[in-house]
Chain A
Amino acid sequence: KQEVTQIPAALSVPEGENLVLNCSFTDSAIYNLQWFRQDPGKGLTSLLLIQSSQREQTSGRLNASLDKSSGRSTLYIAASQPGDSATYLCAVPSGSARQLTFGSGTQLTVLP
């Protein structure tokens, strides 16, 4: 059974810092890995999707890496801003359906 872990559970940084969020998964036979952002009480916004054949994906100040062999992914946020404050979740497909297994998320607070 696939399990996804995100560390740390919460992170608070001053504005302008570069930061790394971590995601680990137990079954390395994944098809892809997706990072999401969730604002309080809201749905999930897809940030990046990394296919299993890729090692990195970039979108603006966000860069996600994937190391299948070690069962890890990182989300790098450059020059953090208060507007980046949210919960960040990673997820991997499980089973044959569009079933994603999620981590519990990292709650990020960027202080002005």
Chain B
Amino acid sequence: DAGVTQSPTHLIKTRGQHVTLRCSPISGHKSVSWYQQVLGQGPQFIFQYYEKEERGRGNFPDRFSARQFPNYSSELNVNALLLGDSALYLCASSATSDNGSPLHFGNGTRLTVT
């Protein structure tokens, strides 16, 4: 079975631009979460979606948005990119919307903002 897949794997953008990151969860998983990991730190929670509805939002500005599609895949959008948005963006899926099952992470998208 395929794990969580993310695309693209690497991306270079310029300040002020917009970026869209994509995630496909493990088959059968309806919950998708997004995390930002800056070098040397643990991941920080951005969003959780379950059954196409936003279930949680972390402490990130409105420049960050996301959505989930009927097939449970998800997109993370970031507008007006700043240098500080450079990070590894991780997507995770789980079978349930609560904390009863483990999160499974993809390999991430490495975003560099110049």
- List A residues at the B interface (Cβ < 8 Å): 4, 31-32, 34, 36, 41-46, 49, 89, 91, 93-105
Contact = CB atoms under 8 A, between A and B. Distances in A.
A88 B45 CA distance: 18
B45 A105 contact: no
A27 B80 CA distance: 36
Interface size bracket, B side:
20 to 34
Interface in B72-97: 88, 90, 92, 94, 97
Contacts of B110: 41
Contacts of A42: 107-108
A40 to B, nearest CB: 11
Interface stretch (B14-22, B35-43, B60-68): B35-43
Contacts of B42: 4, 89, 91, 102-105
Contacts of B97: 97-98
Given A43-B4, A43-B106, 11 more contacts: A32-B99, A44-B90, A44-B92, A97-B45, A97-B48, A97-B56, A98-B92, A98-B99, A99-B45, A99-B56, A105-B42
B107 A43 contact: yes
Interface of B: 4, 6, 31, 33, 35, 40-45, 48, 50, 55-56, 58, 88, 90, 92, 94, 97-100, 102-108, 110
A19 to B, nearest CB: 20
Contact of B102 (A49, A94, A101, A104): A49
A79 to B, nearest CB: 25
Contacts of B44: 102
B65 to A, nearest CB: 16
A53 to B, nearest CB: 12
8 contacts: A43-B4, A94-B45, A97-B33, A98-B31, A98-B94, A99-B45, A100-B43, A102-B44
Contacts of A105: 42
A34 B103 contact: yes
Contacts of A96: 55-56
Contacts of B100: 31-32
B87 to A, nearest CB: 12
